[in-house]
Amino acid sequence: MRVPLIAAAFLAACSTPDGITIEVVPVDGVTSVELLVPQRCNGTCGGNVTPPGYPEMSAKLHEVPLAAPVWTAELSDGVAGFRLLNDTDDPAYLPLIVAIGYRGTEAIGVAMLENVEIKSNESGYWRLIMSDAATIDPQNRAPNDTYRVLTWETADPEMASCVVVEHGPDRFAISPEGDNDCDELPQTPAECAPWAYQVPITPGSIATANCAMDVPLDTGRGACIAMGPLCSETLPSIDPDCSRIDEDYCLTNVVCQCAYSGWNSTCVKANGTALGSYIECTVPVTDGYLPCQSDTKFDPLDVQSFVATSAAAIEDVKVNELAATIGPFDGRADLTPTVKLYVDGFSSPHVVFKWNGPTNTAMMASQVALASLELDNDKHIVVPVVVSYAPSCMRAASCALHDVPNDSAKACAEATTGPSPSCVPSGNCTNGGVYCNNECCEPGETCLATGCSCASSSAGRCPMGYACTNAQMNLPIGGCGDACCLPGQPSSCLN
């Protein structure tokens, strides 16, 4: 539960004020301290951060709420002091409290508490002893029981700093809500990689996916995959606008058909029960089609049966309403402004959906959302969820899986763990190639388990002086080449 907290920097005093008094004892050289009290980022954030000048790093992502002021304190009598006050009726659960010690603008010390509870109007005194912190090394995590830290900030003094902290093997990224990478770009459309600082070019995500294409996975079997525009926060325009995104989302037949020529959510709504697999959830209503109750929990649904013939296991289920893009997926879909579909729980192999809506509005027409089946091989299957209404408050609220055995989306469940071969440029490769096995491939080369490769080269890579392109020599950015050609000489292409 997110509970408002009031915090204020204070000078050391002998009185016992209201709230939790936090006294931070700094390491040598610290002149000021910033206190960060973030919340865990919700399920749309992913799990990676890219600081300026660093490669992408995995991290536990946290946000400092926009409403929270910046809490900094100069040293007084050798300590920095803060006060946290929970003036609500509920306890406040804080996943992190982090104090960063600065020598001028350089972060050199860290003190941290995890999983803290502050009761309503609780008073007390906490003393945090800061530890020395070296600069983060992207190639090596901090040794056990030591800290490393990296900070950067916007020009806005009212926003918290962006911080990455390592404590032994654990890495935490903390940023201000609304500008998670502190790059001061507008949130849309320029900010296409919210946790990566001014990305030159990188694959988009399911949050921007707006089309689909048939591509082979690493099993060789083709599947209809969600695609979208490449992301660049520094280049004025990037083509193509329908390229491989950062994760594989296999689309069931109807979702694919409605995305093939550009995403059309109206098409999904009109054809949710046609062409391919779907989930149908039935809400009991009165004879007048008024909901029997405002909250309806459906019986558990076995979703693992959809991929029963593969080795992959479904680890979670998330949902999204029909909107301008296919994703992102989280725990709630807005079927209408007042009608919601929730994922109320998941315990393999069963998911429990919950419907919420007004009891004074007739529900006659069915509604459609999308569900993402999250697989343990880092891939996803997107299937429509059709919510229908049936008279009789005596019947149970239930969901059923309508399975088309040959649905191509099941190819995601047959693929091996990790991303499929890709040619999409990586943000940390300045040559426009994909990062692969500790090196940057050349543009057009595919990243395979064995390394960089151009499809037409028997040696894997093109000979010196040749480029990996196509026979027409018009390979778009992010495209996979299938021919090795001398620049500007189509007749030179090797077959």
DSSP 274-316: SSS-EEEEEEEE-TTS-BS-SEEEPPPEE-GGGGTTSS--EEE
Around 443, how many Cα atoms within 13 Å sit in the side-chain half-sphere? 17
Q: What is the mean pLDDT of residues 400-429?
A: 76
What confidence score (pLDDT) does residue 458 get? 45
| Residue, of 408 and 449, whose pLDDT is higher | 408
Which range has the worst mean pLDDT, 3-12, 51-60, 108-117?
A: 3-12
pLDDT band at 4 (very low <50, low <70, confident <90, very high): very low
Torsion sign, CA atoms 202, 45, 187, 39? negative
- Choose among 49, 101, 48, 46: nearest CA to 73: 101
Fold for the domain defined by 276-405: Immunoglobulin-like (2.60.40)
pLDDT in tens, 204-244: 889 889 999 887 676 656 789 998 887 777 765 555 567 78
Which residue has better confidence, 472 or 109? 109
Query: What is the structure's pLDDT at 3?
Result: 42
* CA–CA gap between residue 9 and residue 205 (Å, rounded): 40
d(CA 63, CA 175): 5
Q: What is the pTM of this model?
A: 0.68
Q: Report the DSSP beta bridge partners of residue 408.
A: none
Q: Tokens for 217?
A: 């996975």
Q: Kindly tell me the sign of the dihedral angle through the C-alpha atoms of 45, 51, 57, 59.
A: negative
CA distance 153 to 403: 50
**What proportion of the chain, given as a percentage, has pLDDT over 70?**
87
Nearest to 70 by CA among 8, 122, 140: 8
Q: 403: how many CB neighbours lie within 10 A of its CB?
A: 17
CA–CA distance, 141 with 453 (Å, rounded to integer) = 31
Comparing 161 with 67, the larger pLDDT belongs to 161
- Nearest Cα neighbor of 23 from 133, 106, 151, 130 is 130
Looking at residue 478, its pLDDT comes to: 67
Res 426: pLDDT:
64
Residue 94 pLDDT exceeds 50: yes
Q: pLDDT averaged over the chain?
A: 85
Give the range among 60-69, 159-168, 338-347, 431-440 with minimum mean pLDDT.
431-440
Find out whether 30 and 102 touch, Cβ atoms under 8 Å: yes
Predicted confidence (pLDDT) at residue 16 exceeds the cutoff of 90: no
Residue in this structure with the two tokens 């004074």, named with its chain if needed: 360
Q: Residue 382 contacts by C-beta under 8 Å, 6 or more apart in sequence?
A: 226, 249, 250, 251, 252, 255, 326, 370, 371, 372, 373, 409
Mapping DSSP to helix (H, G, I), strand (E, B) and coil, where does residue 145 land?
coil
User: CATH 2.60.40 region(s) of the chain?
Assistant: 276-405
The token pair at 172 is 């935490």
Average pLDDT on 258-279 reads: 87
Least confident of 181-195, 345-359, 421-435, 477-491: 421-435
